[in-house]
Each structure stands twice: as structure tokens, then as C-alpha cells.
Structure 1
Amino acid sequence: MLTGPRTEHDHGRRASRVRALVGMFANVGAVLAGCATPDRVTPAVTGDYTQLSLPDGTQIIPPSGTAPAAPAAPSTCGALASLRPGPSVPAGPASPGRLVADILARDRLIVGVDQSTNLFSFRDPSIDTLEGFDVDVAREVARDLLGDPAKVEFRLLTPAGRFDALEKNQVDIVAQTLTITCQRAERVAFSTVYLEAHHRVLVAGGSEISGPADLAGKRVCAAADTPSLTTIQRIQPQATIVAVPDWDDCLMVLQQRQADAVSTDDAILAGLAAQDPTLQIVGPPLETEPYGIGINKTNTALVWVVNGTLARIRADGTWTRFYDRWLTVLGPVTGPPAPTYRE
């Protein structure tokens, strides 16, 4: 045990011992290298992608064999028609309703999003904040309701957790590429449609897959608890579905050849393709996917406010500005979808 500082002589002796040991190990290594067969620079590849580890929570859904019946279109059940806009900020002690009053009292809007849907809601690593089309729309709701677009608290949700969070009032709204369906409209309220996407297919460059017919016998990735799962089963019942927790998981499994394709809304696929130039969207546009903002079914006053915000950003050019900032990869549009209101 050393009880005082090392001297220059001590350091010199220690360095000599280290050099001697290094030389000894080098000689031993040389002898062993001469006797052993050198390893391959690149390990041999065996097996196929099914042997790789998939993201936690992934489910493999085997081919259904028979295409399920198509669900009722949201236009047939009235799901696309929402409440007419009310005042931007409800006035008077009784008019806001309990849930809107809670938002005004806490002075911030709690918004359910994710951080893995590129172009819509994703974390920008350069500034460590959430960005995207849906994030910008949510901030406009906060501007109209609370007077400041910064008064937003974002809570990260998986696709499977969105509706429970709304029903339990853990979030005020969900802005998360949320497709309006008849089944979903039984659980939550929706705003008017603020964007229309179309179901398509994403593959790696050079893939033999050019459309839904080529998905037979292939593994197709989709996020769990989304309409994309049943859409894939309808358009190609002979496909195996790789159901993952989030859309960025689909990007990973496609890059690692754990799936042959991803199939969902072209808006989401464009965000995946923007992160990897070797990927491409193929095939014709399939089913239309109307996006709405999800709101607790009892929070009528907040539906008024959200629809008021959507009406304003359609009219004043804000919607177009957001589209031009984030979504030009989807191609030119004539403008935002026209709203449909319940009489």
C-alpha cells in the first residue's frame, strides 16, 4: 500500500513493468495467431429473418385465409359529422362545462400524441422537442382556448392506449393520426376531418412487391390496435401480419428484413420513407382514412372549441402553411377537407 505520492522514479519503474507485460502478451498473441485459423472478417449468415429478435410487445398474426367483411364506412353511420363550432373560449361560469373548466383552471391543454410518427408528431433531436403537423394543430387549439400556443402538455401514448386515456380524462384531446371509424365513434367524440390519407404499401427498393396482390405469403408490418390490421386482412388475407406497438417499430423491422412490407396510411408511410431513402411507397391508393381529433364523449364544449380552431385554420391559411411545412411529400392539395356538421 502506498502511503505517499509517487515519485518520478516510481513512475519510471511502473512504466517499465507495463512495457514488459505488453511485450510478453504480444509474443503470446503472435504464437497463438500462428497456430489458430483466423476468424472470418464477416460472419456467415444462416437462417432467415424469423430468427431475429422482434420489438417487445410484437404479435405475429397468421394469415386469416378469408377476407373479413368491410366495416361500415364512417359516412354511413354519421361519424364524419361533428358539432358546429362554438365560442373560441366559452364564456360564463356555467357555459364551459366541467372538463373545459378544468382546462381553464389548470391553464394548459393536455394532448395525447406519440413521438414516433415522423412528420406528424416526432421528437426533433436537435432541439429535443416534439414537432410535426399534429403537434402544430394541437398548439393552435391551445392558442384559441388559453391564449397561448405554448400552453400544452404533451403526453406520449401508444395506439392501443389512446382511447382509454380519453375515456379516463387522462388527456384532453388526442392528435395522433387518428382515423375516424364507426366503431371508434361509439367510444369517443371526433372533431371534423382535418386531413385525408389513403391506405398504401411501403417496401424496400428493389422489392418484388408492387401492390396488395404481391403481399400473399409475405410478412406485413402494422401498428397494433389500428384499422390497418383489418385493412391488410381484407386486401390480402394470405399475408402474415407483424403487429408492433408503434410505427417506428415497423421501420426497424422492415430495415432488418423481419417484415417484407409495411401497410397503412400513406401519410404515415411517407414519414417512414423520409427517414430512409431506400424505401418506396408502391401500389394504388386504397381505402380513404379520414383523420380527426379525439375528445372525451362527454366534453361537448371542447368539441365546439376544437372545431372552431379547425374552422379558423382552414380559413386563415394556417392549415395550408402547416401542410406546406410538413406534408408536401404527399403531393399537392387544393386545400383542407371541407367540414361536415351535424344539424
Structure 2
Amino acid sequence: MDLAYIPSPSTGVINLGPVPLRAYAFCIIIGVFVAVWYGNKRWIARGGKAGTVADIAVWAVPFGLVGGRLYHVITDYQLYFSEGEDWVDAFKIWEGGLGIWGAIALGAVGAWIGCRRRGIPLPAYADAIAPGIAFAQAIGRWGNWFNQELYGKPTDLPWGLKITASANREAGIYHPTFLYESLWCIGVALLVIWADRRFKLGHGRAFALYVAAYCTGRAWIEYMRVDEAHHVLGLRLNVWTAIVVFVLAVTYIVISSRVRPGREEVVEPAAAGDKPAGNAGDAGDAGDAEDEASESDAVADAPVEATDAGEPAGEPVDERVDEPGDRPRTSDDEPAGNGAGKS
């Protein structure tokens, strides 16, 4: 008899009248909120403007959801298109089934569109949002707990996950791979935050570190799972995907560090209606000071003309007052002033 285990919820749905509230969806939504909130803090700290991360997320999140679902349906097509299955279930995203590989890939396309519209580089945005994505994954994995899915092999460990019997699963105590991955993602987020502060990562390297670190954990966690999956050369497809993506991420970090060392400065182009930094009074004072400085420079740079009397340039001009009876001065006698007074 098992003395300790992690219980599973009896249901992942709360019916609010005719409206079903699904825990899986709430975990995804909370994760997205955390990713945008924390990404915004990092973006501002790197010199960006508040709200930019959310504006780009409007593009990235829908693309990511579509990409995640497409990857799941394509790699597990037998669940929807084999004999006896209903292909309509492929659209029931609330029942679970999002592949992180497709979510990141197509989400990056949406982020690229949003960044292009704002005139900012995608790598800088990716670096800012990277730890937030890892935190979002950590939260989203709890949706699998509510759905009693994606668990590992049987275990007698005290933190084993109790799964109840259903049409497609046997009751028992299994490795809580959802929990393992959730904790791993938190560790990945903390690693990226630390490394970014310590080494001033930039040009997409913080995002690449997140990808490489996540793939490392996903490979061994994936190996523990017992849900149905396609195998290539004895390994689950997602294990191969993790290996390939890990190599690409590490390669990018190495090459990028040599080509573009250091962190780039985040500079957002001014959008229509943007106000200059500071309050109106500061802006007016700064403008007045700039005008005065320009006038002073003009006076200082203006050449000093010599007089007809043969006085060398740069010496004081005769400023005597005309005495009564003197002939009026003409323009041939002396200049009316220096060049700064001419229009």
C-alpha cells in the first residue's frame, strides 16, 4: 500500500452554468500573463518602452497556440485520423495537446511580425522574453496534472502521481513528469536571468540559452514518459527534436558570441504621438537653453572685420561718440557691427 503520493484532481472542468471553465486553459492563460508581465520588466530595464512586449505578444501568442497545436496533431495524428477516431477532436485544444516545439517556432513568426511593425530587432525582444517563456511553461505544465496526462513510468516513490482509471489509461502511481518539467523550467528561467546579468548576453543569446537548457531537461523527461509516441532509432521523436534543437541553439551561441560580442542597446523608434522624455517645463527649458547656446556659438564663431583705419582684425573697434559738427559717418567709415548681427 502506498503511504504517500501526489493526488490527481477528479476533474479538470468547473461548470459555471452552461459555461465550462477548464483548468488547462487557465494554466495557459496565467502562463502567458506571467511571461508578458516579466518580459515587460526586462524590456524596460534594457531601455525599451512599456507596453511593447504586450503589443508584440498580441501577434506571438495566437501564432504560438496554432503552432503548438499543429505540431501535436501532426506528430500524434493517429489520435485524430486513425480508424474509430473523430478528426474534429483535433480542434479541441482545451482537452490538451500543445507541442512546445511548434509553439516556439510559429510564435517566433508572430513575434517577428510584431517586431517588424514596431521597428525593433527580434533578437532583442527574444532575449527580454526568454525567462518569462520558461516561467509560462512551468505554469502551463500544471494543466497536464488537471487532465491526468503526460505522466511517466510506474514508481513507488513518495512523490509519485496517482492516476485514476479511464478508457485510455490504467490506475496506478506514476512518475509526475509534469512536475519534473515544471521545476526544470523554473530552473531554466533562473539560469537565464543569472547568466544574462553575469555575462551581459545579447543578440538572441539569452533566448538561445533558454532553448538549449530546456532541451537538456526535456530529453531525459521525455524518455521517462509512457504515453504513445512515434519512435526513431529507438528514441521518441521528441527526444530527437530536443537533441537537434539543442545543437542548433549552442551553435548559435558560439557563433554569435564571436561575431557580435556584448549586448546591444535597445532603441525603439519614436511612434506617432510619442512625447519627449521629461515634463513640458523641462522640455521648454531645454529648448531655450539650446537656442541660447546656438546664438552664443554663432557670435563666437563670427569673424571680426578690420576697420578702414588699418586696425588689425580682432582689435577693438573705435566706439567714440560723434561730436556735434562732425560729418555724419558713412558705411565706408566703419562696419555697423560684426557679422553676427547680419540677417
Q: Shared topology, TM-score over 0.5?
A: no
TM-score range, shorter chain: under 0.3
Between structure 1 and structure 2, the one with the greater Rg is: 2
Of Structure 1 and Structure 2, the greater helix share is in 2
User: What is the TM-score with the length of structure 1 in the denominator?
Assistant: 0.24
